[in-house]
Structure 1
Amino acid sequence: MATEDQVKLPDVGPDSMEDKASSDKRTVTVGPRGTEKVLLLLGLILATFCGSMNATVVSTALPRIASDMNALDKMTWVATAYLLTFNAFQPLYGKFSDIFGRKPTILFAILVFLLSSVGCALSTNIIMLIVFRALQGMGGAGVISLVMIIIADIFSLEERPKYQAAATGAFGLASVIGPLIGGAFVDKLTWRYDFWLNPMVGGVALIFIFFFLKLKRKRVPVKENLKRIDYFGTLAEIATIVCLLLPLNWGGSTYAWNSGIVIGLLVASVVLFAAFVCIERYVAVEPVVPPRVFRKAVVSLVFLCQFTVGIGFLGMLYFAPLFFQVTYGVDSTASGIRLIPFMLGLVVASIISSALLTVIGYYQPFIIFGSALIVVGFGLFYTLDESSSLGKQIGYILIVGLGLGNVLQMNTLVVQAISEARDIAVVTALCQFMNSMGGALGVAIFGSVFSNKLSQNLQALNPQVLEEARQYNFTASYTALWQLPENIRPILIHQYVDALHRVFLVGIPVTGIAFLASFFIRTPSIRTLYKQTPKNASKESEESV
């Protein structure tokens, strides 16, 4: 366990021009109670659910969308557009909410998300759909980050874990059942209901948040707030993320990894990131990502842990269903159902860990235990083969879910607990960003590993076997594998299983980084941290009106 002086407790005194402009005094206001609290929390959870679900809901609908719009060559952009803007804007909302206020910022994000969802549902061509998906990602990024920020604002450290557990559970649930919902709409109704669902659910969230989120803030003219925006830093950050994610999505599919456009964009992302760091450190009066937040070693270690766990999270979410379909011949719906234990593990672990936190008294044990479970889960998944029982499949993916439920919310709670009041919004947004950015990188890494290994395996096959298999166009669809003649089907399936094994093998050391980092994420006891704020209260958030 850590001693209580291993992390310097927050100092809330401003010591710079930026601090004077943006500092929040750590005074407190009583959070919502009774019916208002229930309805506000319901609104926040519904908002989280919508924002998270839309990262995965279209995955099963993409083939039908491409067919209806006669745009197979642009199909992946429907998913990529959301991913790009979601990751590019997520780090920005923390500082923007400090400038403009939590309530106006989250209402703006939800409105953008809902209106763009309507635009997606009404799209008449693929370009129109891609544009609205990009706008949808911009809104969704704010929703996910701001829910966690608002929970930190309105609830004390004692109360916060159980409410963040609910938000974390909604995030995990939506991520997992998104493909199931998307597939059901495609099969029974139309893919457009993937987007019509958002105004139905998100509209309720908007109403509840509008009426029941009540936070104090001094009135400041909009012109004064606009002067506080770090415009150069914002543009540099967005450009960096876009130039990084585009080649990660294109590499190995649209373009070769050694192509000029992929290498050029990766180099550009490095140059732009260097420019962003210089702007934040030497130019910006009020940086969108203040460099000081990285001076605490624990915060940086949490970000590293969150990033590598994010790689494992989305990696498992994308490749476990593929493993089920290829290895056991189940359809997309059945493979999605096998993800339910993954989701249940995440939700249950979030709830139990939040309840046990006050008993154990430290955040670190949960992060160590959770990250260990993730590594073990990847290792066990690597052992699955064509003859593995359903019990093993469910049990192993459940272990990964249990690990994620312990780590994801505890990481957020740690950075909130040890950061200065003026930085809580920024570090919360960055923590969510590290998870989503890690996921985006993880899908690209695992996809490249899978493709390269599969290509090697197929090239090593008997040419006669490969020629016979190609008559069934088995490379165009994973389901075609199970339509191959019985004499060659096991041979081809084994090549895919072996390639997927490589994916899970790579996941072991990657998630192992999170496990190693967890041993150095040391904080004071929660009882020491609780003393910094009065009970049943949270710091006053100077919310815009």
Structure 2
Amino acid sequence: MQNSETELSLSDTRAVAGDRAKSDQAFLDSMTTETQAPVEEEWQPSKHEKAIIYTISLLNLIVSLDATIIVTSLAAIVDDIGGTTTEAFWIGTSYLLVNAVTMPVICSISDVIGRPICLTFSVAIFSLGTILCCVANGIPLMLVGRCIQGVGGGGIHSLGLVIQTDFIPLRWRPKWYGVTLAAWAVGLSAGPIIGGAIAQKTTWRWVFYLMFPICGFGLVAVPYLLTLRPKKATAQEKLSRIDWFGCFIFIGSATIFLMALSWGGSQHPWDSAATLAPLIIGFVGLLITVLYIKYYAKNPFIRKTLFCDASSIVTYIAAAGQGFVLYATLYYSPLYFQAVKNFSPINTGLATLPNLLTFALSGIVTGRLVTRFNNFRWAIWIGWFFGAVAAGMYVVWRVNDSAAVWVWTFLIGGISHGAILNAQNFATQAMCKEGDEGAAAAMYIFARQFGMAVGVGIGATTFQNVMKMKLRWEGLPTEIADNAEAYIPTLHSLPDGHEKDVITDAYAFGFQVVVGTWTALETLMLFLTLVFIKHADMNRKVSSDHHLNSDRMIRHWGKKNNGIETEEYGT
């Protein structure tokens, strides 16, 4: 009897080892072959899962709205509460910086203590920041509110993507992420128009009042609907699994590094101590973070297994590249319309609609096609190709900025961003090891947001320095470039003549050089993705430590009438 049990145990061990070997070989094979077996049955979400998807989408709408509504209302805010051009710059920039550096930390903590707690905290902290912005009568409180909003917005945006990896199979995520992407694009599209209308017609505080209904909905809906259960552990075990040291050095290093990039060349010279000191300290801190994660961390907040090959690394680099260009498009296009074409804030928002609406449509269509054909590479390549074409068309605006030219530029650029955003996002999840999809989603969205934050500094420095150079050539004061946004009303009040034409052309010249950098960057990204990104099979089952429990929904909604499934998810 004992010999029989021993033989059975050895047989089971060999079977497990054989299964693992087959699984590893299947993963390697999926990275090198384009032809995959079709999925037998399409995955359909239950009513409970749909409710979570739509709730996440609605919360993402306010995050994207908050990012763009400020663009066309910033002048009204500063005019009312006072402040310099530099302080106005930080009202927008502080949100982006904090947003970027907190994303990977919040997602890592959610792996340990659970998604519902972290998402509820993010909505609550975003609401608190919004309240502070509403009551601000000076720049200091406004900046504090914007930073707190950045923490909450970063958590909402990143966790919204990570949570979907806990219950949607990878093959079908691009399709259903299209719902979130559509809501995000609506926020991006409506933000400049609503901000411009508010700035012209009523108090700027309505920019923030608009957030409260959705914040209130989120504070109720998230704890109720998001019944994801994390891996069971004691409070002490959970606290010990959080990488406190790694999170601390990363947040500190990334913050001062991005701050130095943001003010270098615009508020402080690049060779000044005010720029070089934080830039060097931040870079060294980020390098220490990388070494710590690779060699010392037991439970690193960023998983080193995500960077297992050149294909994965290039995809994260391309995510940062897209963030860089996407922010520049959202910021410098409206600046061009207001300064060079003398558009009102409302008309400026309307002018950007072709870009943002095709962005949403392209993302939705790309998601369905990626799901249908189990292939993301074609979408990435087409996206970067169209991106390079659109960037080249932006350069032409200084010579020809007729409606036909800028509308077609926006249409092509929107198609580009929608395709890249959806396809690259899920490429990283297909390339990672099984069970790392949530971490890959968090890393991708952080890389994109980090690229946006870097784009703030590089874009501002390039624009200001080029505009100053043009003004200097014409014998005009270079201080105009230091206050480019604030000077726009003065520019349009000048009488028609040589001086007004030259200053207007200085704005156009600064814009032309900025978009020239986009052309070079997008061409580089096209080359890198063509050479390095490999195919990976997306036919994976859900592999997560967080399981959806629908018992509450069954009690409240009823099982038969609402299509709630429980057998696939454990408690």
Does TM-score exceed 0.5, indicating one fold?
yes
Q: Tell me if the contact between 2:181 and 2:364 (Cα under 8 Å) persists in the aligned partners.
A: no
Alpha-carbon distance in 2 for matches of 1:95, 1:521? 28
Q: Tell me if the contact between 1:89 and 1:142 (Cα under 8 Å) persists in the aligned partners.
A: yes
CA displacement at 1:145 relative to structure 2: 0.6
Q: 1:490 aligns with which of 498, 501, 515?
A: 501
Structure 1 residues 91-133: Cα deviation after superposition (integer angstroms, max 9, x where no partner): 2122212111122211111111122212221234432222222
CA displacement at 1:417 relative to structure 2: 1.9
- 1:419 match: 432
Please tell me the root mean square deviation across aligned C-alpha atoms, in Å: 2.6
Alpha-carbon distance in 2 for matches of 1:257, 1:320? 26
Q: 1:477 aligns with which of 482, 487, 505?
A: 487
Q: Tell me if the contact between 2:335 and 2:485 (Cα under 8 Å) persists in the aligned partners.
A: no
Code of the aligned partner of 1:541: H
Q: Tell me if the contact between 2:68 and 2:330 (Cα under 8 Å) persists in the aligned partners.
A: no
- What SS does the aligned partner of 1:434 have? helix
Is 1:519 paired with 2:530?
A: yes
Is 1:57 paired with 2:52?
A: no
- 2:158 match: 145
Structure 1 residues 316-373: Cα deviation after superposition (integer angstroms, max 9, x where no partner): 1111112222332212221221110111111110111122224443110000000111
Alpha-carbon distance in 1 for matches of 2:307, 2:75? 43
Structure 1 residues 175-218: Cα deviation after superposition (integer angstroms, max 9, x where no partner): 34323222322333322222222221122233333222232434
- For residues 303-314 of structure 1, the aligned pairs below 5 Å read 303-314=316-327
- 1:278 match: 291
Is 1:541 paired with 2:553?
A: no
CA displacement at 1:395 relative to structure 2: 0.9
- 1:349 match: 362
Code of the aligned partner of 2:364: I
- 2:9 match: none
Structure 1 residues 17-64: Cα deviation after superposition (integer angstroms, max 9, x where no partner): xxxxxxxxxxxxx98513x34432221011111122222322333333
Is 1:132 paired with 2:145?
A: yes
Code of the aligned partner of 1:323: Y
Is 1:393 paired with 2:406?
A: yes
Q: Which moved more, 1:367-376 or 1:45-54?
A: 45-54
Q: Tell me if the contact between 1:31 and 1:154 (Cα under 8 Å) persists in the aligned partners.
A: no
Compared with structure 1, are the counterparts of its residues 495 and 117 closer, same or farther at alpha carbon in structure 2 (3 Å cutoff)? closer
Percent identity between matched residues is 25
CA displacement at 1:8 relative to structure 2: 7.9
- 1:7 match: 31
Compared with structure 1, are the counterparts of its residues 367 and 46 closer, same or farther at alpha carbon in structure 2 (3 Å cutoff)? same
Alpha-carbon distance in 1 for matches of 2:547, 2:170? 19
Superposition TM-score, scaled by structure 2 size: 0.83
Structure 2, unmatched stretches of 5+, are 1-26, 34-42, 550-570
Compared with structure 1, are the counterparts of its residues 77 and 385 closer, same or farther at alpha carbon in structure 2 (3 Å cutoff)? closer
Q: Which moved more, 1:241-250 or 1:124-133?
A: 124-133
CA displacement at 1:480 relative to structure 2: 3.0
- For residues 157-196 of structure 1, the aligned pairs below 5 Å read 157-196=170-209
- For residues 113-512 of structure 1, the aligned pairs below 5 Å read 113-385=126-398, 387-461=400-474, 463=475, 466=476, 476-488=486-498, 489-512=500-523
Q: Which moved more, 1:277-286 or 1:118-127?
A: 118-127
CA displacement at 1:519 relative to structure 2: 1.2
Alpha-carbon distance in 2 for matches of 1:388, 1:231? 51
Alpha-carbon distance in 1 for matches of 2:152, 2:486? 34
Q: Which moved more, 1:250-259 or 1:269-278?
A: 250-259
- 1:27 match: none
Q: 1:42 aligns with which of 47, 54, 62?
A: 54
Q: Which moved more, 1:115-124 or 1:261-270?
A: 115-124
Compared with structure 1, are the counterparts of its residues 128 and 486 closer, same or farther at alpha carbon in structure 2 (3 Å cutoff)? closer
- 1:19 match: none
CA displacement at 1:401 relative to structure 2: 0.9
Alpha-carbon distance in 2 for matches of 1:166, 1:502? 36
CA displacement at 1:423 relative to structure 2: 2.2
Compared with structure 1, are the counterparts of its residues 137 and 412 closer, same or farther at alpha carbon in structure 2 (3 Å cutoff)? same
Determine which structure has more spread, i.e. the larger CA radius of gyration: 2
Q: Which moved more, 1:50-59 or 1:410-419?
A: 50-59
Q: Tell me if the contact between 2:431 and 2:536 (Cα under 8 Å) persists in the aligned partners.
A: no
Alpha-carbon distance in 2 for matches of 1:475, 1:105? 37
Compared with structure 1, are the counterparts of its residues 248 and 172 closer, same or farther at alpha carbon in structure 2 (3 Å cutoff)? farther
Code of the aligned partner of 2:164: I
Code of the aligned partner of 1:353: T
Structure 1 residues 461-510: Cα deviation after superposition (integer angstroms, max 9, x where no partner): 1x4xx48x98xx98841243333332213333223222211111111111
Code of the aligned partner of 1:485: P
Compared with structure 1, are the counterparts of its residues 435 and 68 closer, same or farther at alpha carbon in structure 2 (3 Å cutoff)? same
Alpha-carbon distance in 2 for matches of 1:242, 1:216? 32
Alpha-carbon distance in 1 for matches of 2:185, 2:254? 24
Compared with structure 1, are the counterparts of its residues 525 and 280 closer, same or farther at alpha carbon in structure 2 (3 Å cutoff)? closer
Structure 1 residues 391-443: Cα deviation after superposition (integer angstroms, max 9, x where no partner): 21111111111100000111111111222244222221111111111112123
CA displacement at 1:382 relative to structure 2: 0.7
Code of the aligned partner of 1:513: L
Q: 2:80 aligns with which of 68, 74, 94?
A: 68
Code of the aligned partner of 1:59: V
Indicate the structure whose relative CO is greater, using CA pairs within 8 Å and at least 6 residues apart. 1
Compared with structure 1, are the counterparts of its residues 422 and 4 closer, same or farther at alpha carbon in structure 2 (3 Å cutoff)? closer
Compared with structure 1, are the counterparts of its residues 517 and 484 closer, same or farther at alpha carbon in structure 2 (3 Å cutoff)? same
Q: Tell me if the contact between 1:5 and 1:524 (Cα under 8 Å) persists in the aligned partners.
A: no
Alpha-carbon distance in 2 for matches of 1:128, 1:483? 33
Code of the aligned partner of 1:505: G
Superposition TM-score, scaled by structure 1 size: 0.87
CA displacement at 1:386 relative to structure 2: 5.5
Q: Tell me if the contact between 1:342 and 1:397 (Cα under 8 Å) persists in the aligned partners.
A: yes
Alpha-carbon distance in 1 for matches of 2:79, 2:191? 21
Q: Tell me if the contact between 2:75 and 2:486 (Cα under 8 Å) persists in the aligned partners.
A: no
Q: Tell me if the contact between 1:95 and 1:425 (Cα under 8 Å) persists in the aligned partners.
A: no
Compared with structure 1, are the counterparts of its residues 423 and 246 closer, same or farther at alpha carbon in structure 2 (3 Å cutoff)? same
Alpha-carbon distance in 1 for matches of 2:253, 2:114? 26
- 1:24 match: none
- What SS does the aligned partner of 2:299 have? coil
